[in-house]
Amino acid sequence: MNFFTAVGRTTLELLKEIGRLSIFTADAVSSFVRPPIYWSLVLKQMMRIGFFSLPVVGLTAFFTGAVLALQIYIGTARYGAEQFVPTVVLIGILRELGPVIAGLMVAGRVSAAIAAELGTMRVTEQIDALTTLATRPVKYLVVPRLMAALVSMPLLVAVADAIGVMGGYVAATNNLGFTGSIYLNTTMNDLNSHDVMSGLIKAVVFGFLIALMGAYNGFHSKGGAQGVGAATTNAVVSASILILVANYILTNIFNMLNF
Amino acid sequence: MESAASVPENNGAKIVIKGVKKRFGPKVVLDGLDLAVPKGQSLVIIGGSGTGKSVTIKCVLGILKPDAGQILVDGEDTAKLRGNARDAYLRKFGMLFQGAALFDSMTVWENVAFGLIQGRGVGRKKARDIAFEKLTKVGLAADVGGLYPSELSGGMQKRVGLARAIAADPEIIFFDEPTTGLDPIMSDVINNLIVDTVRGTGTTTLSITHDLVSARKIADRIAMLYKGKIIWEGPTAEIDHSGNPYVDQFIHGRAEGPIKMEVKA
């Protein structure tokens, strides 16, 4: 009997959570097109979400690209197909690793920051204070962050793509004996707008998930310091998992569409 | 304190709360709350911790939705308000929060001016002038305006919170535990400020506190909340002769009496 109670309670909690998240998302997205939009806050959040994530995203992209070249070399060399290293690195970075690595790093940095900030505002009643000052909290706090993430993530991923490919180039020329000009030529010849676009579309989706998870968890945090801590953890974990799940689904869709 | 207030009639009341119920999971917080706040008067709700005082205010503001019952402000049912009508409704209110709830990312004057700039579309320069005028009114020097809330003491934060609550000259002001956490002298300063800034302006105020000294000072009428219901309501002067054993126990702060402390929530 206890077992069924537990299963039932968990199911109900899960459904409640999904319902709450859906309402929250609908509220936030529909606020995109209803004035007022706080443009100055959007710009400020773009600085925080996009610009200040550049170092961490750039560094991770560089080393991911480099290690990707080294590993692909091991695989391709078995069949004497080393000349495909630049192409596979390019596709791997543009389609998968650029957006996923950037997404996970930004999830760690930005989801956590948003959840902690909004969570603290919630438990110190600053969000209620907004309401009493005739300002809608979702419009003032959530919409600017969502918008900024939607715009910033593709830009970040474009940078991550370039740096990741450069990482592959550096590893290939330094450690694998590739000639720089040949590597670059192959890369440029195989550069394809579909590969770039599919990565950037993923970036937009990931950006949305990152800001949404941060805002949702922060907005609904309870209790004091412990509640804010839990909200921050939940934000990062749920954003990371959703990014990986969404990535799988999107890759499947792109494959089906031959994109 | 003067007790000129007469028994409120519902048609003259600014806020009418009728049979409001609210529960969180199994815990019943409000259990058919009835209360009327007369226009232009100061009503203070007293009651122990966890009796639903804050929930009452949050229901009036629409931050929480009551499970049952009705809340009328100026005769208008607040449950049906959506979108712009709700924005307009919220412009009637100002609120001083228990922990001041100042925005820590903004300076003091930006906090005070926030409701004017964001909520009411007042120009930044004009809002700044009003903010400094209100800061003077609560006894803060102009140089405080440029500081951040974290640089202020608790009492000063409360003053800024008060300045923010009155910045837009709202029709209704809520005070949530205005003196909690302050020393007795600072409490009295805040009480005086509340009386000075509100009396004579025609503002309707609803306060919640468990500080009887504060209640006696700022209230025209006092209502006592116990187990989600108003168990006594009357003019401030009559609180000592309420004839209600619950009220007597509360105002004299006795551990023994009909009110049993619920240790378990």
pLDDT reported for residue B6 = 40
CA distances (Å), origin A240, targets A64, A214, A235 = 18, 11, 8
The SS3 of residue B189 is: helix
Residue A125 near residue B97, CB atoms below 8 Å: yes
Location of structure tokens 């991923």: A157
Superfamily of domain B40-65+79-221: P-loop containing nucleotide triphosphate hydrolases (3.40.50.300)
Task: Tell me which chain A residue has its CA closest to the CA of residue B112.
Answer: A133
- Choosing among A23, A44, A130, A133, which should be mutated to test the B contact, i.e. which has the most B CBs within 10 A? A133
Per the DSSP assignment, residues forming a β-bridge with B205 are B42, B173
Structural domain boundaries in chain B: 40-65+79-221
Kindly write down the DSSP assignment for every residue of A200-232, as one continuous string. Answer: HHHHHHHHHHHHHHHHHHHHT--SSHHHHHHHH
Contact between B93 and A140 using a beta-carbon 8 Å cutoff: no
In angstroms, what separates the C-alpha of A134 from chain B's closest C-alpha?
A: 5
Distance CA A257, CA A254 (A): 5
This model of the complex carries an ipTM of: 0.83
Instruction: Out of A145-154, A230-239, B180-189, pick the least confident.
Output: B180-189
Q: ∠ CA(A112), CA(A114), CA(A120), 5° rounding?
A: 100
CA B121 from chain center: how many Å? Answer: 25
For residue A158, the one-letter residue type is: A
Contacts of B87 in chain A (CB under 8 A): 134, 136
A30 touching B (Cβ < 8 Å): no
- The Cβ-side half-sphere exposure at B254, using a 13 Å CA radius, reads 10
Distance CA B244, CA B257 (A): 11
CA B157 from chain center: how many Å? Answer: 16
Structural domain boundaries in chain A: 38-256
Residue A28 near residue A212, CB atoms below 8 Å: yes
Residue-wise pLDDT tens digits, B51-108? 788 888 889 888 888 888 889 888 888 888 877 888 888 888 889 988 889 998 899 9
B135 touching A (Cβ < 8 Å): no
What does the block give as tokens for B184?
Answer: 């007795």
Residues 159-178 of B with CB under 8 A from A: 164-165, 174
Per the DSSP assignment, residues forming a β-bridge with A116 are none
A131 touching B (Cβ < 8 Å): yes
Count chain A–chain B contacts defined by CB atoms under 8 A: 52
- The residue count of chain B comes to 265
For residue A27, pLDDT over 80 is answered with: yes
A133 touching B (Cβ < 8 Å): yes
What angle, rounded to 10 degrees, do the helices at A193-219 and A225-256 form? 150
Residue-wise pLDDT tens digits, A195-250? 999 999 999 999 999 999 999 999 999 888 889 999 999 999 999 999 999 999 99
The SS3 of residue B29 is: strand
The residue ranking higher by pLDDT, B186 or A43, is A43
What angle, rounded to 10 degrees, do the helices at A143-175 and A98-106 form? 130
- Taking residues A164-171, report their average pLDDT: 94
pLDDT reported for residue B11 = 57
Q: What is the pTM of this model?
A: 0.85
For residue A146, pLDDT over 90 is answered with: yes
Residue A176 near residue A85, CB atoms below 8 Å: yes
Contacts of B174 in chain A (CB under 8 A): 132
Contact between A135 and B114 using a beta-carbon 8 Å cutoff: yes
For residue A68, pLDDT over 50 is answered with: yes
What does the block give as tokens for A184?
Answer: 């670059």
Q: ∠ CA(B112), CA(B199), CA(B62), 5° rounding?
A: 55
For the four alpha carbons of B197, B201, B206 and B210, in that order, the dihedral sign comes to positive
Task: Tell me which chain B residue has its CA closest to the CA of residue A140.
Answer: B118
Residue-wise pLDDT tens digits, B229-243? 888 888 888 888 888
For residue B199, pLDDT over 80 is answered with: no
- The residue count of chain A comes to 259
Q: Which of A124, A128, A133 sits opposite B119 (nearest CB)?
A: A133
pLDDT reported for residue B1 = 36
